[in-house]
Amino acid sequence: MTIRIRLLCLLVCVLVFSVGLSPTVLMRYQTPVTTDTATTVDGVTIVYDLVMRAGASDRPVAVLLHGFAGNRGMMRMIAYALADRDFVCAAVDLRGHGSSEGLMGDLDAFGNDVDAVLESLRAKRVGDTSRIVLIGHSMGGGVLLRSRYSASAVAVVGIAPVASPEWVNTTLPQNLLLVLSTGDVVINATAVTQTFYQSVNGTRGANTPHTINGTQRELLVVEGVDHLGILYHEPVIGEIVKWSTRHGVGGEQTLTFHPLVLHASAYVALAGGAFVIFGGLSLALGTRRRQRAAASGYADRKTLARTGFVAIALGGSSALSRRSGFHSPSVM
């Protein structure tokens, strides 16, 4: 392969990498992520990411909690989607997880972590903490269902949550959305369903909002997504955005940020980056090989020239000796 073709391939790979990375770069530019800390009443330092657009400091607050053995980064996709609708999003590392200090505690100890983050936001005057949406996955969903803030939050969303009918009633938490998947083999779907039934005081159909005592409840059931994949499932994120804006902003808004685009861009950027590395190495190795070949060719030509010169010199001296009559004596 000639050097021109190698360079062309490398340029194409760089272009693919740039196109793939651009949605992520644009998202990070439009919705910057800053990391902050808060201290709980029992002295544990909690780390959280603040995901928000410029000028949204007075907007509703969404607190996002990961599941057992998870971290705040797992909630980033939902945070981006809500920040795109001008929410101030705090994605939290619960104690003993991610970058936070402390040991994994019970649900009540984790509740202290939520308290600390919200107090930190109030102290910094970031977000409207009178309008809080609580969103938790798995264990994080259980933490929020039991949190004292579930009584004052404008909405609570449990994504494949740890749940118990004892934690809810027909009034609290307000505007409760529970999300399940038929492909989830980790969570106790029966307990989640019973929790929903308790919140509506009887059996009600899934995938339809129900109003009771002035508050809404819904059990959203999706097909085939696993326990972690549900966090990145576009229809689920879309419903969370609708639910959060309906109760947090006062008017339902649809999803404008598309997780699938970000997913695809990540894979394209990954593939493009791999080809850039491969193409760069190939070009470098090819150049080096040509340099070695050129150096080797130069040495070969030098050897041939020296040999030819010696041959000419020997041949010439032999001819001269014959012409002068000088010759070696014959052996008898």
The model's pTM is 0.75
**pLDDT tens-place string over residues 107-158:** 779 999 999 999 999 999 999 999 999 999 999 999 999 888 888 999 999 9
Domain 31-257 homologous superfamily, CATH: Alpha/Beta hydrolase fold, catalytic domain (3.40.50.1820)
Q: What is the spatial distance between Cα 72 and Cα 137, in angstroms, rounded to a whole number?
A: 11
Give 245-287 as a 3 state SS string.
HHHHCCCCCCCCCCHHHHHHHHHHHHHHHHHHHHHHHHHHHHH
**pLDDT value at position 322?**
38
- Per domain, the residue ranges of the chain are 1-20+268-322, 31-257
263-266 long-range contacts (CB < 8 A, ≥24 apart) are 263/232, 264/20, 265/20, 265/21, 265/22, 265/23, 265/24, 266/20, 266/24
Displacement of CA 115 from its chain's centroid (Å)? 26
Q: Which residues of the chain have pLDDT under 70?
A: 1-10, 12-30, 258-332
How many C-beta atoms surround the C-beta of residue 11 within 10 A?
A: 12
